[in-house]
Structure 1
Amino acid sequence: MSLTASNTAGVPNKHDDMDKQVETDGVAVVEQQVHGDFEDVADMPDEAYLRAPKKVRWFRGTLFQMFLFGLLSFSGPAMSDAIDNLGGGGLATPYTANAANAAQYSIACAMTLFGGPLINKLGIKWSCIIAATFFPIQGASYYVNSKYGTQWFVIFVGAIGGFFGGLLYVAESTAMLSYPRAQERGKYIGIWVSMRNSGQLLGGAISLGVNVKTAGVGAVSITTYLIFIVLECLGLPGALLLSPTRKVRRPDGVPVPLAAPQSWKMETKLLLKHIIHKRTLLMAIPAFYSFFYGGVYTTYLSLHFSVRARALSSFLYPLCTILLCTGFGRLIDSKRWSQKTRAWIGFAFWAVPQAAVFVWTAILYAQFEKNNLKGIDYTNNTADWFRCYLPYLIIQTTGYACQLYLYWLLGCFSSDVKSSARTGGLFRCFETAGQAISHGINSRTSDKRIPLYINIGIFFLMVPTLSILIRMVPKDPHNYDDVTDEKKTQAVTQEAIATTEARGL
């Protein structure tokens, strides 16, 4: 349903003339003031939206959009992660799954590099629709491999999945950075992260129910994949329900800031300007690091734990992640401290436990080598299971807190949707590069301590670069200069508002 001033459900006819005046004069004045750079202007409430019926406001509101993005993550990446969290995709060994993930993230890395301009052309909604059509194919590839032993199909689907996954990664990143208001960013990103993990939680519950009697090592039941395929089909309806970005409104009626359409040549120039910006260069290593642990620790789980212990893990860690990230999102939104102080607190929240986990895991690997520990199960030796599983649980839960934090941190610098698309695309480019390399080295290296040591090395590179980026965070929201400095958004906005108020709009 359109929310234009001249055609909004529930708006009385007596307002038509005034609304047409707003549409023909006010918008023209605003567009003229920004010299064509912005279609919507920040801090100007949409009166037609505020007068619309409650169900329309809910449907177009940012909160409902976050739930839909959560549904997309639930049925797509969450189901993929749930399969991966079985350890090696639930297969008897992790090597095929690691090769497929390496192929997927390599293509996704290339895709997300140019994802910003592509998303700006396709739009967030259509990018999500295209991506959602692929979700069930990935689950089907694991089913075919488990039933017929067709390993090449898993790797092939992983490779083409990088294209579709890259579209989704940049689309949802753009929305996370630009849709919420500054004071609600942690809360809304927390909703998205929690819904993504609720998908893994459900997937884990299914895996545990199907595989609870399998105490040995090996592959999970083939029925597990059929259930995942059904859940992956939910993504397309969710994508179709998304509102086009130009129609999305924040709770106070303010539209999401939109930059005007640009040519491919200009999009490329703006992307290059983003790439060489100091913030982008500082963001590269933290983004590369953020999910590097995935290949390292899913291999760890696959090689040393029983089938039902892996199934229990796929249920237990999403539950803990939901609880942790919900609280963490509220913590970094707290008004008790300045924005910069919250940035430092949020950094310590996940970085300190991860540093401890790396030391813990290195000690465990030495013990595994000495005692040849495999098939660790929570019923046979609970103490050993807890001691060996806890570092995996900590790294997985704080890993999502790390991603939530990095989105929140980048949101401190974002302005309009198109700028956020470039930032989000580059962020996901570096992130998927880390995932591709992590899974790649875990599919080839016989000594699994080597990927762990590489992960530790990247951690020590990440700490100083992220610290420098935190020092650039303004004390208060919106006190920043955009990377592309598109006509000094804030100053132009205030001038446009003053002009429209002078006309009595």
Structure 2
Amino acid sequence: MPIPPAYPHNELADTDLHPIEQDRKDPDGKQGDTEDAVEAVPDQGYDPFEVDQKYLVASKSTKFYRGVLLQMILFGTLALVGPSMADAISNLGGGGLSSPYLANLANSLSYTMSCLLTLCGGPLINKIGIKWACLIAAIGMPLAPSGYYTSARLGIDWYLLLSRTVGGLTDGFLYIGESTAMLSYPLPDERGLYLGIWSAMRNSGSILGGAINYSTNFSKETAGGIAWSTYLVFVGFSATGFIWALLLSPTAKVRRRDGSRIPSSARMSWKEEFVALWRHLQKPRTWLMFVPAFYSFFIGGTFGTYLSLNFSVRSRALSSLIVPTITVPAVLLYGKFILDRKSWSQKKRAWICAAAWVIPQAAAFIWVSIEISKQQNPLIAYDYGIHGARWAEAYLPYLIIFVTCYWCQLSIYWILGTFSTDVKSSARTGGLFRAFETAGQAVSYGINANSANKNVPMWINIGVFVAALPCLFFLIRLVPEQPKEHDDVVEADGIKPAVPVASGALVA
């Protein structure tokens, strides 16, 4: 059989693609754009992961459009207009409503649905592709702010609960899509920088949201709910999500800076995908990841309630601006100068990055416990213009916890990326990580939806933090010196890919 040309031309992409990466044609002969159109290819003696020389000599605009940097910016923008806008509302404490308990219940329902969706995230992403997952997520982005608006303006609480439930499902598609890309798209020594860019973009949305919050609520020095018009601005920004999702390139067309493609193992059937997911669930590192992932954003419900009950409306609005403004440079510096420091081994970087967030968070928990012991009955809504130093004293542990929680998330992402850069393996790992993370958020908001005892959730949060430490310790001990470019879990169990692997060796 004659060997086909190694790189047939693709005019749309202005780059030459390998036969295994060409889009599947429809019956009319037109090119489709199905990301996962990868068939088992017979032994023809080529390596689907070799450097794309045509990409390296392509125009700057083509290289940028298909490059990893733009993909990370687009994922960050999607997070900015979607989850980040929801975070900006949550950062007001209790969703900005006069009482935090309804918002906590709504968030608990949202994260429960996200958890259920992301638990099967690996098979879903590997079958429908990252771009389609993000398009589905974009449809549900305006639901959260519209739900808060109807509750604040019209008193329709059932729609808030429904919108957060449906939005939780659609958000799950974005969670697994972006996590898969974070783990597999960048080169290993650039992952920290790109994680930082994505996190900075996400928090830029919270800066924008915080500015909106503060500009519409700066005169409210008492407790209560925010101005209902605030939510309409969030609806407008969230509605743009579909545009950014459409601009994403399918994974098969994405190129790294050195011209290499994204490693991807063989296409599997639905049954094989779930078998592979089950094999990942059986591995010790998956369950060592569980508690740290469960803890990573557990603080959302606990400290959101703390903010809502103890601070004035304008202090909460100011907080929603302060936290992301500090977080953006913090995550960029953290990714570039700690996670990507080449002079340190991967394991050394893992230990240092863990210490960077564990130590300040332990101090913040001790600090906030002291603050809780000073609470008066009834609670005082601290305001920066009235209480001054007392406001700062009570607010600083909240600020430390929220800034370092993003370091915690980036650290776990980076650690998981040290095991494999294969996109399908990353989908399974990333889906499970987001499932565990959203499970923690669901529980956190759930236990804060009851006003019976305001301080019990904080003690539970501290307990989860303590439980995460030994799991993190043993997980870091498993970090290899170099990540594999295939699914090491599936391969270790004797399932070999049907297409050439990244090393160029051909297997049956």
Alignment of 1:153 with 2:159, yes or no, is: yes
Query: What are the equivalent positions in structure 2 for 1:219-368 lying under 5 Å apart?
Result: 219-330=225-336, 331-368=338-375
Query: Cα offset for 1:476?
Result: 3.9
CA distance in 1, matches of 2:429, 2:248: 22
Q: Which residue number in structure 2 is paired with residue 5 of structure 1?
A: 8
Aligned AA (1:131): A
What's the CA shift for 1:33?
5.3
Q: Secondary structure at the match of 1:335?
A: coil
Q: Distance in 2 between matches of 1:456 and 1:147?
A: 36
Task: Name 1:381's counterpart in structure 2.
Answer: 387
Conserved? CA contact 1:302–1:310, under 8 Å: yes
Question: How far did residue 489 of structure 1 move?
Answer: 11
SS at match of 2:151: helix
One-letter identity of the residue aligned with 1:226: L
CA distance in 1, matches of 2:215, 2:83: 21
Q: Contact conserved, 1:282 with 1:468, CA < 8 A, in 2?
A: yes
AA aligned to 2:382 is I
Separation (CA, whole Å) in 1 of partners of 2:436 and 2:498 = 28
| Aligned residues between the structures | 482
Query: Matched residues in 1 for 2:473 and 2:349: separation?
Result: 13
Instruction: Give the letter aligned to residue 71 of structure 2.
Output: Q
Partner of 1:183 in structure 2? 189
Matched, 1:404 2:386: no
Are 1:102 and 2:108 matched, yes or no?
yes
Partner deviation per Cα, 1:64-117 (whole Å, 9 max, x = no partner): 000000000000000000011111110001011000000011111111111110
Contact 1:8 1:48 in 2 (8 A): no
Q: Once the two structures are superposed, what CA deviation does each residue of 1:235-257 show, in whole Å capped at 9, x if it has no partner?
A: 11000000011111001110101
The match for 2:147 among 141, 146, 161 is: 141
Partners in 2 of 1:81 and 1:161 — Cα distance? 13
Q: Determine the structure 1 residue equivalent to 2:208.
A: 202
CA contact (8 A) 2:93 2:304 kept: yes
The answer for the alignment partner of 2:125 in structure 1 is: 119
1:173 aligns with 2:179: yes
C-alpha displacement of 1:226: 0.9
Once the two structures are TM-superposed, the CA of residue 491 in structure 1 deviates from its matched residue by 9.6
Q: CA deviation at 1:7?
A: 2.8
The answer (yes or no) to whether the contact 1:10–1:53 under 8 Å persists in 2 is: no
Q: How far apart are residue 480 of structure 1 and its match? A: 9.5
| CA–CA separation in structure 1 for the residues paired with 2:352 and 2:133 | 35
Distance 2:347 2:497 in 1: 23
Is this contact kept in 2: 1:200–1:314, CA < 8 A? yes
- 1:500 is matched with which residue? none
- Evaluate the alpha carbon distance shift between residue 491 and residue 309 of structure 1 in structure 2; reply closer, same or farther with a 3 A threshold: same
1:491–1:256 distance in 2 versus 1, CA, 3 Å: closer
Give 1:209 shift.
0.8
Pairwise CA distance, 1:383 = 0.3
CA contact (8 A) 2:151 2:160 kept: yes
- For 1:271 and 1:380, the matched residues in 2 are separated by 55
Asked if 1:211 is matched to 2:217, the reply is: yes
Contact 2:47 2:502 survives alignment (8 Å): no
TM superposition shift of 1:372? 3.8
Structure 1 residues 366, 240: CA separation in 2 closer, same or farther (over 3 Å shift)? same
Superposed counterparts of 1:456-467, under 5 Å: 456-467=462-473
Asked whether the equivalents of residues 296 and 438 of structure 1 are also in contact (C-alpha less than 8 Å), the reply is yes
How many angstroms apart in 2 are the aligned matches of 1:112 and 1:81? 19
**Matches of 1:318 and 1:426, distance apart in 2:** 26
1:502 corresponding residue in structure 2? none
User: For 1:256 and 1:482, how far apart are their aligned partners in 2?
Assistant: 16
Query: Contact 2:190–2:340 at 8 Å: present in 1 too?
Result: yes
Deviations 1:166-206, CA, capped at 9 Å, x for gaps: 11111111000000000000000100000000000010011
Q: Aligned equivalents of 2:13 and 2:245: distance in 1? A: 26
Q: How many angstroms apart in 2 are the aligned matches of 1:480 and 1:232?
A: 36
Residue aligned with 1:218, SS: coil
Q: CA deviation at 1:119?
A: 1.1
Equivalent of 1:473 in 463, 475, 479 = 479
Identify if the C-alpha distance between structure 1 residues 10 and 128 changes in structure 2 by more than 3 Å, giving closer, same or farther: closer
Residue number among 425, 428, 438 corresponding to 1:422 in the alignment = 428
Letter paired with 2:10: N
Q: Deviations over 1:395-437 (max 9, x none)?
A: 0000011111111110001231111101011001111110000
Describe the shift of the 1:101–1:10 C-alpha distance in structure 2 as closer, same or farther (beyond 3 A).
closer
Letter in 2 for 1:352: I
Whose helix proportion is higher, 1 or 2? 1
| Displacement of 1:477 | 4.5
Deviations 1:346-389 (A, max 9, x none): 00000111111111111111111x46442100000110110000
CA–CA distance in 2 between the matches of 1:275 and 1:10?
37
Q: Percent identity?
A: 49
- Is 1:487 the counterpart of 2:496? The answer is yes
> Equivalents in 2 of 1:374, 1:360: separation in Å?
18
How high is the TM-score relative to the length of structure 2? Answer: 0.90
CA separation of 1:261 and 1:495: change in aligned 2, threshold 3 A: closer
Change (3 A) 1:4 1:88: farther
Cα distance in 2 between the residues matched to 1:319 and 1:34: 53
CA contact (8 A) 2:94 2:104 kept: yes
Give 3-state SS (helix, strand or coil) of 2:267's partner: coil
For residues 305 and 461 of structure 2, the distance between their equivalents in structure 1, rounded to whole angstroms, comes to 13
Distance in 2 separating the partners of 1:491 and 1:470? 30
2:422 and 2:487 in contact (8 A); partners too: no
